[in-house]
Structure 1
Amino acid sequence: MPLKDLLRARFASAINSIPPGTWKALVTDHYSQQLIDEVYTIPELLQMNVTSVEPLHSPRQPMTVDGLYILTPTAQNVERIIADFQGRQTYKSAHLYFIDAQRLTDTLGPSGVLKAFTELYCNFWALEDRVFGLQHPQAFYSMFGTPGGTVARDLALEAFHDDMTVTGRTILNVLTTLGENPYIRYYQPTHHAPLGPLSLQTPSPAPAAAPSQSAQAGGNSLRWRSAMGNMPGIGGQRAPEVQGDYLSKKIAVQVQNELDAYMASNPDWPGHQDRSRAVLFIVDRSMDPVAPLLHEFWYQAMVNDLLKIEDGRKYHYKFENTVGVKEEREAILSEQDEVWVSVRHLHMKDAIDRLMTDFGKFAQEHAGFRGNAANVEVNDLKDMLANLPQFQTQREQFSLHIDMAQECMSIFEKQHLNLTANVEQCCGTGFTGDGKTPKTVVEQMVPLLDDRNMSSLDKVRIIALYIIYRDGVADEDRRRLYGHANLSITEQDMINNLVNLGVKVIKGDGKFRGSRIKQKFVNSDDQYELSRYKPVVGIMSEEHYANRLDVNQFPFVRDVPADVTGSGSLRSSSYVQHPGLQAQNSGTSLRSARPTWQKAPSARADNRSQHRQRYIIFVAGGVTHSEIRQAYVLSKQLGKEIFIGSTHIVTPESFLKDLKSLGRGGIGGNPPNAAPLHPQAPGRPNRNPGQPMAYQRILDIRHWEPPVGPPPLGPPPGQQMQQPAGKNSSKNSKQQQTNSNPNVVNLKQFENMSISGQGSSKKDSFKGRFKMKWGGKD
């Protein structure tokens, strides 16, 4: 089942908990409203007897309907709920749902008085049917930034631990929504030491010095006017033992701890399983620094690379209306756009073919066309669309994607991306289109770097890929590359800071002899010449499926399936073997033949099964659109149900901008130009940098909202009575002190508040009205 449908069901369980036919007001905070907006539209909510959707922290008029609260569990939110029921009640009664579970002990009052609270475990973003995320790009800095100075180091460690806590809890929310208690595998690199703040906890190897002039004269340096030599060091010596944990292992252990705690409170979870136990893969951006740098020509990846698309979904274009006037439109690229869903994972050439074919069928089914619409050119489709005023939605969708495809192809031809992409593919894969070792990469690359019409960012991408391919270059050669490309200092930083992802930028001996996961040549005619590179997450998934995934490079946290051997190594074994045919050179074309993924073997007919095993992949530090595509493609090829998620989605441009600022000695977790906290927002408590902050406190800080409008009205005059002094004066004094404490909230007003939701079995006995203070959980 699509992830969005599962999340819709979670929210629907809360909305429909109020008896059918009963009207209610939905009250949300800013963050929870964004999560709901990902899966529900306002008209859909209105059809569920929701009279209005109201922001919690804005002034609201009292209503005679029930109040349905779907909120982030923060102290600020709970205090605002209490204010709704002090004096003049805002709603007839309240039904409270938290998107996540938290004890709120420190915020709401003394421990041991909270008997039940609601939890939905839906605290994550369902970005696509198979894609989830945190929408937290700042995590890239906290996970991979290496700050300097004692204060910056302490703050970096704090930000790192906070993001580990949030990441682990978010993945738990995904797993509970899927109903999966998976095997957990994680990426264990062998070619570099721990990165980012983790490098501060263990001694790191000293940077290798650049080769001397005499060593360069010995023939090991880059020769600018001759053919390039073979790749060094690929094959496989074992890396030295390193004390300390790597990023992926830290997250994997955090997720296992979260699962253990959840299962201790919910011993019957996940219940009866009608599918094989899932596998969760925890990896990070350092596993594959190549994928974010390549020019990809799959439709979704290409449009997000070449066009100005906001947040991966908003695109502004000109649309010709029925009277021939061009209007500015904003399109949302989502599952509601059927044309987008049908072409987003196709190669651009196939996407254009699909658009023209589908448009031809659409034209034949409706009046208003002359001639054979299936044989028209792309430029003619827009004119023909104007003749379909009665089918506005279809017209706009076709017009949008024809416009986008046309714009991408125009940029492709204008910028000669076929030449750029050929060099990129040779560097990314390590072989040419016919499977040979590249011999003329330098000769092909230098004219591109000298070309003034080529953008600086494209030059940065080529140089970065070449350095990764060569496993570092001599310092003198690196400066020559920068000189040919005429890069600025900040553009050079984009490349130099690849060291923060474990890339060796300057060639040297170093003590780490392991290598990255290696691409293997696929000798087939069913392959695109300029799209040969396969993201490592795809290789990893295929190797696990074939029981060849190296258990040393991808160990399990705890449980290991009985049939796992994993004796092979991804550095030496081929993940696909197609002996025989050689791939044809595509020249200046985008493709050489049809893509292999469209031909699923008949042996995998179980693809349509409703009970397929699930693979869940999490990429810490950003996931690319080409990696997202792998989740959809391999779901069909392997007969599995694959989901992929990350801290955020990256494009080549956003990735390079992040790299530019990564190594400036700033504070991890606070990227450049980060918005400052509101003056009234809760501050960070003093703590040991080595100790993580409580999850509740993190939520309080990250999801604090500035108040809007006047505070809620207090009780009418005359209802507050002054207690006479006497033997209870001491007790009354203590009570007044408690009431004056803004961190302690009295919930005696919650006579009409009900609890409903999902969680441990203890909650069932506490449904109904409460007559107690709300504090911590036993």
Structure 2
Amino acid sequence: MVSAIQEQRDIILDTIKSITRGDWKVLVIDESSKKIIDNVVKEDDILNENIANIERIEEKRERNPDMDAIYILSPQLHIVDCLMADFERRRYRKTFLVWTALLDPQMRRRIDTSRQAKEQLAGFETLSIDYFPRESHLITFKDPWSFPILYHPACNNLVRDHMQILAQKITGICVSLGEYPKVRYYRPRNPTHEASVLCGHLARFVQEELDAYAQWNQNFPPPTSRPPGVLVITDRSMDLVAPVIHEFTYQAMAHDLLPIKETDKVYYKTVVNEGGADQQEKEMEIGEKDKIWVENRHRHMKDTIEKLMSDFQKFIDENPHFTNSEQDATSLNAIKDMLAGLPQFQELKEAYSLHLNMAQECMNIFQHHKLPDIASVEQSLATGLDEDFRKPKNLADQIVRLLDDESIGPSDRLRLIMLYIIFRDGIIMEDIQRLLAHASLPPQDAEVLTNLELLGAHTTKLLKDPKRTTQSLFPAKTAPTAQSEEYALSRFEPMLKLMLEDIAKGALDQTTFPYVKPPLDNSEELAAQSQASLRSAKPTWAKNRTSTVENRQRIIVFMAGGATYSESRACYEISQSRSRDVFLATSHMLTPAFYVRQVSDLSKDRRRLDLPMDRPKPKAPAHLFERNDPRPAPPPAGLGSARMGLSQSKLNPGVGFPKGGALPKSPGAPSPPGKSPSYNPSPYNPNPYATPQPVPPTAGLAALNMSSGGGRPITPNGTNGDGSGSKGKLEKKNKYAKDDGVEKKKRGFFGSKK
């Protein structure tokens, strides 16, 4: 199966390779583009493509007029200011411009009309890579601000521009995957909330962006034997249960219960070499490189622990001379003791220690906080059926008993009340207050409950209101599927999974999930039902599983307002069961605690939200406008000098600072930008809106980029910088030109796509 991580990595490296063509060049990036690149590409892989040094455009750099530069930049106003300052200083010989997303026409016009830019510009290209692949089939925008922008009543004036940015990012994902999909969207039945039109508007924006890209890029979509993919635009209101309910698969459970730290990477602090002289606490990365994590993250916790034990027992059997044969690896503690005696396998020890500690800590919380009792009631509320698949009885009494239990934490009590209100389709306000009193929760938590109205829930009603008849989005399963008590606590399936199953069967309701451009016939459904591609001439018996996956229709789902780990798991499960690629894209990932906090923020004053667009705009640093930076000595001629620069850049990949300390500021230079406050999505940060401590300019970019998309969104009536009036859509790629003006053709971006 294809990997979104590998696709974006190939795009970046192929672009650099097609520009360097064996010649040494400098790579210039900015803070935002660095995060995109670092997410999928190692620095050494970039340097190996004839990149002599990697520099940050915002930082102090020496002039290097004897070397060409490749700029990979985000389309932000202050970054364009930095770029124009470089053109004015003639910092490099020739400049190849690569943008991570579409440049605003006004910014483009500013570059096109600059005499210095025309003299130095050797290439101009727009890549559609303004997104962050988190897993092979999970993509995020790292933008938790999207939730309040879309659902907070005071942010209505921001919604259109934000949707335009989202549409361009979603289009970028489709372009990177080589897909020109049919676009469908979620249209709620009998909606009462203002954001019910969100998916329809966003889907039309995406369709316009896709059509514009196809118009300006004749090689899109690339030739393929697959049927056209399908893109479904949905939002958080489709499933209000999934973000709140307790999930007992490894990844979702760990993110719910453990203090996992998320910055540019995902970390968990654990003790390695426990019990030994070299015992230490260490932050370990959890990601695609961790094979144990990738193999087990979607398993039920019970199965995860069994798999960890069986894998370790297999290792012991294969390496008997390293272990004590009298020890029995049948418990987590026994395995941890045996790991302490394996100094020869440090990496293996640390990996197993990490996941054994995480699994054990999850199970400790599971037992001590009575999660089995909570989950039993939650499953009845979420599915409308008890463990015997009958209508549940005495739920209110069970809930009150749990709310009175001191061993159950406040957050779990609030989540239980939220599920009960959703199950009942609203209750009278007096009952909400009674439930909060039983739970010993503050009265202001009632705002969290009533804010669910903004997502389409019915939370309150009057005593004499008639009972509403509600129809489930998908038919409830009435036959038992759980074979044991452990799985009985996991009966609930996210709406996203049920939707994907219907898409795979070609049976998704076109009333609730209409097309932006309705098909003229039912070929889409027939293609979905087909076991192989309708375009494929190869007989079915001649195909292996890999070729079958490659020829199946791809499904891309965008979940506006954030997605859960259970929904991510559902995509992988459908991918596996239906032998096709299913990608989930979203603004950000939700844990239950973070979701509850974001819902509570919907009633706060907008000024307290500290939205990125409400902050002072960043400015180009003052030092870029200084006139007296020294010119470096010319490098020795020949390849040897380039190799010397390469080795130095590996030792110090940062930029070259002027010697003798900082340069004085020029009188009229703009002031450098201040650090923006960081919105930390971790629920364990007591003050997520606090301003972070300043960091050195060369330090790692740990804070998430909260910008919704960098540059200003394209207005429908915008024009390109050349005055061609292309309505602000994606421009066609320029070809790179040699210094003598002879055009040098660049290999087609999707030429190698299959």
TM-score, structure 1 as length reference: 0.74
1:662 and 2:602 equivalent? yes
Which residue of 1 is the match for residue 177 of structure 2?
178
- The verdict on how the C-alpha distance between 1:447 and 1:512 changes in structure 2, with shifts beyond 3 A counting, is closer
Which residue of 2 is the match for residue 52 of structure 1?
53
- The verdict on how the C-alpha distance between 1:490 and 1:371 changes in structure 2, with shifts beyond 3 A counting, is farther
Which residue of 1 is the match for residue 129 of structure 2?
122
| 1:5-20 correspondence to structure 2 within 5 Å | 5-19=6-20
Which residue of 1 is the match for residue 417 of structure 2?
463
- The verdict on how the C-alpha distance between 1:280 and 1:380 changes in structure 2, with shifts beyond 3 A counting, is same
Which residue of 1 is the match for residue 652 of structure 2?
none
CA contact (8 A) 2:451 2:602 kept: yes
Q: Report deviation, 1:388.
A: 2.7
- The 1-side partners of 2:521 and 2:739 are apart by 47
- The verdict on how the C-alpha distance between 1:642 and 1:526 changes in structure 2, with shifts beyond 3 A counting, is farther
CA contact (8 A) 1:24 1:65 kept: yes
Identical-residue share of aligned pairs (%): 33
Secondary structure in 2 aligned to 1:609? helix
Which residue of 1 is the match for residue 346 of structure 2?
392
Q: Report deviation, 1:17.
A: 2.2
CA contact (8 A) 1:251 1:282 kept: yes
Q: Report deviation, 1:524.
A: 3.0
Which residue of 2 is the match for residue 190 of structure 1?
189
Secondary structure in 2 aligned to 1:38? helix
Select 1:477's aligned residue among 431, 443, 449.
Answer: 431
Q: Report deviation, 1:22.
A: 3.5
CA contact (8 A) 2:384 2:391 kept: yes
- The 1-side partners of 2:510 and 2:107 are apart by 42
| 1:210-289 correspondence to structure 2 within 5 Å | 246-289=197-240
Which residue of 1 is the match for residue 397 of structure 2?
443
Aligned partner letter, 1:463: I
Q: Report deviation, 1:313.
A: 1.6
Aligned partner letter, 2:296: V
CA contact (8 A) 2:273 2:279 kept: yes
CA contact (8 A) 1:186 1:281 kept: yes
Which residue of 2 is the match for residue 138 of structure 1?
145
| 1:37-436 correspondence to structure 2 within 5 Å | 37-63=38-64, 65-87=67-89, 89-106=90-107, 108-109=109-110, 117-147=124-154, 156-196=155-195, 246-311=197-262, 313-320=266-273, 323-366=276-319, 367-371=321-325, 375-436=329-390
Aligned partner letter, 1:517: L
Q: Report deviation, 1:376.
A: 3.1
Which residue of 2 is the match for residue 556 of structure 1?
515
Which residue of 2 is the match for residue 489 of structure 1?
443
Aligned partner letter, 2:293: W
Cα deviation digits, residues 491-546 of structure 1 (max 9, x gap)? 22221211111111113558985544243234235471111110001000101222
Q: Report deviation, 1:107.
A: 6.4
1:531 and 2:490 equivalent? yes
Secondary structure in 1 aligned to 2:10? helix
Aligned partner letter, 2:441: L
Q: Where do 5+ consecutive residues of structure 2 fail to align? A: 527-542, 632-667, 671-729, 743-754
Q: Report deviation, 1:41.
A: 2.2
Aligned partner letter, 1:520: K
Aligned partner letter, 1:649: M
- The verdict on how the C-alpha distance between 1:82 and 1:378 changes in structure 2, with shifts beyond 3 A counting, is same
- The 2-side partners of 1:111 and 1:81 are apart by 13
Which residue of 2 is the match for residue 571 of structure 1?
none
- The 2-side partners of 1:164 and 1:651 are apart by 23
Cα deviation digits, residues 446-465 of structure 1 (max 9, x gap)? 11101123111101111110
Moved more, 17-26 or 354-363: 17-26
CA contact (8 A) 1:471 1:505 kept: yes
- The verdict on how the C-alpha distance between 1:47 and 1:392 changes in structure 2, with shifts beyond 3 A counting, is farther
Q: Report deviation, 1:342.
A: 0.9
Secondary structure in 2 aligned to 1:117? strand
Select 1:707's aligned residue among 614, 618, 621.
Answer: 621
- The verdict on how the C-alpha distance between 1:708 and 1:538 changes in structure 2, with shifts beyond 3 A counting, is farther
- The verdict on how the C-alpha distance between 1:482 and 1:715 changes in structure 2, with shifts beyond 3 A counting, is closer
Aligned partner letter, 2:134: L
Aligned partner letter, 1:651: T
Cα deviation digits, residues 34-58 of structure 1 (max 9, x gap)? 0111101223333334343321100
CA contact (8 A) 2:33 2:73 kept: yes
Which residue of 1 is the match for residue 734 of structure 2?
763
Secondary structure in 2 aligned to 1:96? strand
| 1:705-744 correspondence to structure 2 within 5 Å | 707=621, 709=623, 711-713=625-627
CA contact (8 A) 2:62 2:629 kept: no
Which residue of 2 is the match for residue 35 of structure 1?
36
Which residue of 1 is the match for residue 641 of structure 2?
none
- The 1-side partners of 2:27 and 2:103 are apart by 21
1:639 and 2:571 equivalent? no
Secondary structure in 1 aligned to 2:550? coil
- The 2-side partners of 1:365 and 1:709 are apart by 61
Aligned partner letter, 2:6: D
- The 2-side partners of 1:498 and 1:21 are apart by 57
- The verdict on how the C-alpha distance between 1:522 and 1:42 changes in structure 2, with shifts beyond 3 A counting, is farther
- The 2-side partners of 1:741 and 1:110 are apart by 21
Larger Rg over CA atoms: 1
- The verdict on how the C-alpha distance between 1:264 and 1:498 changes in structure 2, with shifts beyond 3 A counting, is same
- The verdict on how the C-alpha distance between 1:767 and 1:495 changes in structure 2, with shifts beyond 3 A counting, is farther
- The verdict on how the C-alpha distance between 1:52 and 1:117 changes in structure 2, with shifts beyond 3 A counting, is closer
Q: Where do 5+ consecutive residues of structure 1 fail to align? A: 148-155, 197-244, 568-602, 682-703, 718-739, 743-758, 772-778
CA contact (8 A) 1:490 1:660 kept: no
Q: Report deviation, 1:192.
A: 2.0
Aligned partner letter, 1:623: A
Q: Report deviation, 1:191.
A: 3.4
Task: Please identify runs of 4+ aligned residues in structure 1 that moved more than 4 A.
Answer: 110-116, 508-514, 564-567, 603-608, 673-679, 714-717, 759-762, 765-771
- The 2-side partners of 1:488 and 1:470 are apart by 22
- The 1-side partners of 2:34 and 2:111 are apart by 30
Which residue of 2 is the match for residue 151 of structure 1?
none
CA contact (8 A) 1:604 1:639 kept: no
- The 2-side partners of 1:646 and 1:512 are apart by 32
- The verdict on how the C-alpha distance between 1:35 and 1:761 changes in structure 2, with shifts beyond 3 A counting, is closer
- The 1-side partners of 2:182 and 2:360 are apart by 45
Cα deviation digits, residues 569-590 of structure 1 (max 9, x gap)? xxxxxxxxxxxxxxxxxxxxxx
Which residue of 2 is the match for residue 236 of structure 1?
none
RMSD of aligned Cα (Å):
3.1
- The verdict on how the C-alpha distance between 1:762 and 1:122 changes in structure 2, with shifts beyond 3 A counting, is closer
Cα deviation digits, residues 341-362 of structure 1 (max 9, x gap)? 1111110011111111112222
- The verdict on how the C-alpha distance between 1:446 and 1:75 changes in structure 2, with shifts beyond 3 A counting, is closer
- The verdict on how the C-alpha distance between 1:705 and 1:526 changes in structure 2, with shifts beyond 3 A counting, is farther
Moved more, 110-119 or 176-185: 110-119
Moved more, 476-485 or 46-55: 46-55
Which residue of 1 is the match for residue 591 of structure 2?
651
Aligned partner letter, 1:38: N
- The 2-side partners of 1:68 and 1:373 are apart by 59
Q: Report deviation, 1:96.
A: 1.9
- The 2-side partners of 1:604 and 1:561 are apart by 33
Aligned partner letter, 1:622: G
Select 2:504's aligned residue among 542, 545, 548.
Answer: 545
